[in-house]
Structure 1
Amino acid sequence: MSEIVEPMIHEDRLPGEESKLSPQPEWEPRYPGSGRLQDKVAIVTGGDSGIGRATAVLFAREGAKVAIVYLCEHEDAEKTVAACKDEGAEAIAIAADLGYPKMCDRVIAEVTEKFGGIDVLVNNAGEQHPDDDIRDITEEQLKRTFQSNIFSMFYLTQAARSHLRKGAAIINCTSVTMYKGSANLLDYSATKGAITAFTRSLSQNLVGEGIRVNAVAPGPIWTPLNPFGGQPPEDIPDFGKDTPMGRPGQPNEVAPAFLFLACDDSSYMTGQVLHPNGGYVVGG
């Protein structure tokens, strides 16, 4: 069983290569590990770069065995796996388009064959495409954005469900755009609203099984997603400057929120959303 598997599709620009991004995002964990995920098995989607990479490596530092799932950026994925192994963790990377149920079934089969189970599922993968006019959003784009951002979470959670036992945690990545809106990310923001509703509903569905479901709603974070097509090029120099903190966040400023929700520190939380967003005050 290989660590890198060819994906179903390749998009020309998205999700973008972190190795080509300047300045480079800060993804390295800031603090020593304390074993909060010791011997746990974690899946992190969109784990090749950005928030996913920072989360995967932080989980590895905390003792988890990590499987990252990514679309097509092999070099970035290999770097993430190497960084996890440098933390002393077992790690694999699986290329897959999670918008297809059979791909999700294959991912779960490969992870459970390698590691024997699943304790933490991080649904982080997604895409966005800016449009100033709703009439410019094509049917193909609308379907693809929903397929990548919310259908994939349903499919992967469905595939993983039989392997999730009492004490397991699911963490979904929503967005500040769900709460404050975004004039040029209409379809993306709509999917993030769906993700928040999915999180709250799934938490009620699984609470009796001892499985917690929470979410993280990042603000503008410096990852490949935006400069490689997720925002208009002319907006990139001012990206994140409209936050109260006056700057974009870094991936390693978001990853600890995922860690908190993955480990027993958050044992009395389910159906909740954390907001590493640079100071925006939004409804919970």
Structure 2
Amino acid sequence: MFEDSRVVGSLEARTLGALDTARTPKRSAADRAAVLAELRAELAARPTTAGVAGRAVPTLPALPAFVDLLPDRGLRRGASYTVEGSTMLGLGLVAGASRAGSWCGLVGMPTLGAEAATGLGVDLSRLALVPSPGRQWLGVVAALIDVLDVVVIRPPTPAYDAEARRLAARVRERGAVLVVQGSDWSGSELRLSITSSTWHGLGSGHGHLTSREVTVEATGRGTGGRRRTSRLWLPDQAGGISPALTASPVSPVTTDAATVDTPDGDVIPFSERRLERVS
């Protein structure tokens, strides 16, 4: 597991300071104008895609394998997404933004395999981990949304609809992206799920699992009522994610979508694939 205590400590200090308005010094008019100009310049530099009626929609980049699944061809700032079941799918969804330089946070994933996350494209040098947020996880996520571009959460407890709406409002206000792992989420823009899965790499009763071909389905209000599907290697033989353009020559092992990852939904790093060896 990756956890840079200095980075996390600095992040927590900045976050708590930002939330505690009572201790925030008053800014002069000139200071406020300078900050506003800086924020406007940052907003203008963000990549965008064409939105409804030609309006620009600020987005964060996604890996090429996910472009056809996302209506905006990237992660729309201010939106919430739901990923059903697979942790690998959730990490892959945010890997493009992480690789492009965005700061990301992972909350509620104490057994995450850092090596597997790196293989999928997540930059660990810009990753904040809160493995066990406890009962106050909503407050933790809200604080991270204030300072990070993308926050991925596996809720340890259900959230009331009112709580989900308040958090969604904060995501929109800050222009962040929220990805909710393995849980129904009120107001989600898009839901991604694996509908079929085929492992490759086993020979005649021996060998290693080397790659997995999956069908990913995207549904929700963001698709305008139309289902989007795509075939992906998740992971491919290099441990990354890529479009499944051609069939694999090795023997497949078809699995149920619910048994693709470990029982608690986390990823097994490729260095530990020996645990999946069939002799």
The TM-score bracket by the shorter chain reads 0.3 to 0.5
Greater strand fraction, Structure 1 or Structure 2: 2
Which TM-score applies when normalising by structure 1? 0.36
Question: Which one has the bigger helix percentage?
Answer: 1
Scaled by the length of structure 2, the TM-score of the pair is: 0.36
